[in-house]
Amino acid sequence: MTVTKDQATNPHLTALKRCLRASVLPGDTAFDRKSLDDAAKFVLDAATSREADRSVLLMESGSFGSADDAKPMLRIAIINEDMPFLVDSLAATIAAQGLVIERLVHPVIAAERTAKGRLKAIHAKTKSGAGIARESVIYVETERADARQRRALERQLQVTLGDVRAAVKDWPKVQTAMERDADAMDAQENSALLHWFNQGMLTQLGHLVRSKDGKTSKARGICRKSSRSLLADASYERAFKWFTEDPTRELLIVKANRMANVHRRVPLDLFIVPHRAETKNGSKVEALSVHAGVWTSAALASPPTQVPLLRGHLDAITHQLGFDPSGHAGKALLHALTAIPHDLLLGSSREDIVRVATTMMGLVDRPRPRLALVEAALSRHLFGFVWLPRDLLSTQSRQAIEDMLTHETGAQMLDWSLEVEGGNLAMLRFVLDIRQAGKRPDDAKLEGQLVDLLRGWNEAVERELAEDGDDARAMALASRYASAFPPSYRAIYTPRDAAVDIRRLRHLATADAEARDVRLFALPGDDAHELHLTIYQHQGALDLSDAVPVLENFGFRVLTEVATALDDGLLGEIHDFHLALPSGSKAGDLLARAADLESAIACVLNGEAENGPFNRLVVGVG
């Protein structure tokens, strides 16, 4: 074999080139010669020295590639002893920073190092011996990031590496703690669930014991690194109270607000077990044993009949509802409990499980928009389940649903996921933090908004028009008017506002063609000294010189005016005036007399009354 100059002078570089080239997955873009040389040199800079039990992280921003095809990018090299979860955890961390990974290769090398960590040689993977260890080499290319993004990314990658190392190192101790808690339980299904998790169905990441006095002990895994505090003090207090209220309670399943850095970037699942001590007055909860982890894909995909606790819910609900397990209803229930995420079901009450499952049962054969909200234990999270026909699913519709949920609940969105059925039904699952939220919204109201959002403007307007009970008339009016409302109107006003405006314009169309109508109302966001007033005109245009003096003589001050012409004015015009109220007047007081005020203003606009300063008396100022 001919020895090249490159091989003779730097065998490490040659070995790394070979490893990087071989680790490109089928279907990925192979390295060209220049890119491979640059990547190998960069990785070698990172791998040259690494202390035991430490990671090396190197980042560089610039333009790389051949002279004719160089492009700006950020490249990252990470050297670590080989262990589980490295690639998926680091890739998720990079993606969470909003960066797109354009190349990722992951060779595992047999590195021989000196006692101080200097690289001596790179051997074949099969070689072992003193000073030789399997090392993970991760090389990543992403889009370029600015200095601020790079600093944030570097910090988060270090946190992730620390969590991975701690979780892997403490894994046996974390498993032992869960096995100990499982063996101490009285309820067979509670014990079976923890044993089931301990057999590979939970990616166990950490464990700690929280005492009643607020002290933490026996922290393992991520609980001694980034997640030293899994719950807020107030949540721990509620958990102690929850177990104290019922001495038979052995297991509390909740979500953490903290995202997992290891394996999958999702909210951590917490399994809390009380440690009780017997006293003269009965048992007392002295501490809480908290296990943190992430459900594995295999666990989430397991049939409900194989998941401890969940199989008990299935049997109890089947009996409660009188279903035949082999009949259509029994199979539909099983299908629903299979499709709904197990991690949310086990953290919910049986009543909520029944409600969510039976809602989904009625949608499999007849997909349509539906919504169900479930408040989790300790009143920390709200789980939102949204079903819709698959054809209505898009990024825009999902984002619109998120906006609706966060706006109506005042909660913070933590996580979402999507499940698309083999048929025509899609299910979105949302996890919201409701600790700082206001009053929980009404499910029926939210579902109505969901229907309006997904069915589109025309159908939503028709639905509002149908409230008077005349469906045929509502369909005819919506068909004629709804599509005439321009996007600028729809961005501000709701389908309910449009239905009100249509009724007013329709009334004018059957009366005097030149008559005007008036509506006084408030929009969300108006303060106590502001109102909106709409002037409707069936034909012709409204000159501001006709309207503004009238409003001013009633004591109002016009802030803005927005005109909307329907079908170029053929169906009428809507002029919305944003008004500041007279000094001493409050919106609520004027709205209580809205009908009288509307009639008075309309009379003046239609020439049926004289426009003068005396009109201020109608508003209530002298």
Q: Tell me the pLDDT of the chain averaged across its residues.
A: 89
Which residues does 295 contact at the CB level (< 8 Å), separation at least 6?
201, 202, 203, 269, 342, 343
* Residue 135, helix vs strand vs coil: strand
* Burial class of residue 543 in the structure, from the number of CB atoms within 10 Å of its CB (0-12 exposed, 13-18 middle, 19+ buried): exposed
- What is the C-alpha to C-alpha distance for residues 255 and 232, in angstroms, rounded to an integer? 12
Backbone CA torsion sign across 176, 296, 303, 345 = positive
- What is the C-alpha to C-alpha distance for residues 572 and 539, in angstroms, rounded to an integer? 6
**pLDDT single digits (tens) 40-93:** 999 999 999 999 889 999 999 988 766 667 788 999 999 999 999 999 999 999
**pLDDT single digits (tens) 472-510:** 788 889 889 988 988 788 878 888 899 999 999 998 887
Amino acid making up residue 525: G
Distance, CA of 233 to chain centre: 24
Determine the pLDDT at residue 509: 82
Mean pLDDT calculated for residue range 366-390: 91
Determine the pLDDT at residue 533: 93
More reliable by pLDDT, 525 or 527 = 527
More reliable by pLDDT, 124 or 410 = 410
Determine the pLDDT at residue 527: 84
**pLDDT single digits (tens) 2-14:** 334 444 458 889 9
Q: What is the DSSP string of 365-422?
A: SS---EEEEEEPGGG-EEEEEEEEEGGG--HHHHHHHHHHHHHHH-PEEEEEEEEE-S
**pLDDT single digits (tens) 424-478:** 899 999 999 998 876 777 888 888 888 877 777 888 888 889 887 777 788 889 8
Above 90 in pLDDT, residue 347?
no
**pLDDT single digits (tens) 574-603:** 999 999 988 878 888 889 988 989 999 988
Portion of the chain with pLDDT greater than 70, in percent: 93
**pLDDT single digits (tens) 393-420:** 888 889 889 988 988 888 999 999 999 8
pTM of model > 0.85: no
- What is the C-alpha to C-alpha distance for residues 91 and 140, in angstroms, rounded to an integer? 9
Above 70 in pLDDT, residue 620?
no
Determine the pLDDT at residue 472: 78
Mean pLDDT calculated for residue range 555-565: 91
Q: What band does 16 get if pLDDT is binned at 50, 70 and 90?
A: very high
Mean pLDDT calculated for residue range 93-112: 94
Determine the pLDDT at residue 207: 98
Alpha-carbon distances of 522 from 29, 407, 485, 519, rounded to whole Å:
59, 19, 20, 10
Determine the pLDDT at residue 4: 42
